[in-house]
Structure 1
Amino acid sequence: MEHVHETMPMHDHGGHGGHGDDCDSPCADMGHSHAMVFHANVCQEILFSGWLTTTALQLFGSCVAIFVGGVLYEALKYYREVLHIRATTVTADSRVNIAKNECGSTGNCNGPTVVKYSIWSCGHAVQTALHVVQATASYVLMLVFMTYNVYLCLALVAGLGLGYFIFGWRKTSLNDANEHCQ
Structure 2
Amino acid sequence: MEGHDHHDHADHDHGDHGAADDCMGHSGHSMVFHAGVCQEILFSGWVTRSALELLGSAAAIFLCGVLYEGLKYYREALFARHSAAAAADSQVNIAKSECGARCSGTAVVKYSMLSSGHAAQTVLHAVQAAASYLLMLVFMTYNVWLCLALVLGLATGYFCFGWRKNTVVDVTEHCQ
Determine the structure 2 residue equivalent to 1:14: none
How is 1:9-20 mapped onto 2 (pairs within 5 angstroms)?
none
Determine the structure 2 residue equivalent to 1:19: none
Is 2:167 aligned against 1:173?
yes
- Superimposed CA distance per residue, residues 116-145 of structure 1 (whole angstroms, 9 cap, x where no aligned partner): 100000000000000000000000000000
Distance 1:29 1:112 in 2: 65
Q: Name the one with the larger helix percent.
A: 2
TM-score norm. by structure 2 comes to 0.83
Residue number among 133, 153, 158 corresponding to 1:164 in the alignment: 158
Residue number among 67, 73, 78 corresponding to 1:78 in the alignment: 73
TM-score norm. by structure 1 comes to 0.80
Distance 1:159 1:48, change over 3 A: same
Is 2:56 aligned against 1:61?
yes
How is 1:106-121 mapped onto 2 (pairs within 5 angstroms)?
106=100, 108-110=102-104, 112-121=106-115
User: Sequence identity of aligned pairs in percent?
Assistant: 57
What stretches of structure 1 of length at least 5 have no aligned partner?
A: 1-22
Aligned-partner SS, 2:22: coil
Determine the structure 2 residue equivalent to 1:123: 117
- More deviation in 124-133 or 164-173? 164-173
Q: CA deviation at 1:42?
A: 0.3
Residue number among 35, 41, 62 corresponding to 1:40 in the alignment: 35
The alignment yields a C-alpha RMSD, in angstroms, of 2.0
What stretches of structure 2 of length at least 5 have no aligned partner?
A: 1-16
Q: CA deviation at 1:111?
A: 5.1
Aligned-partner SS, 1:48: coil
Distance 2:88 2:40 in 1: 56
Report how many aligned residue pairs link the two structures: 159
Which structure has the larger Rg? 2
Larger relative contact order (Cα-Cα within 8 Å, sequence gap ≥ 6): 2
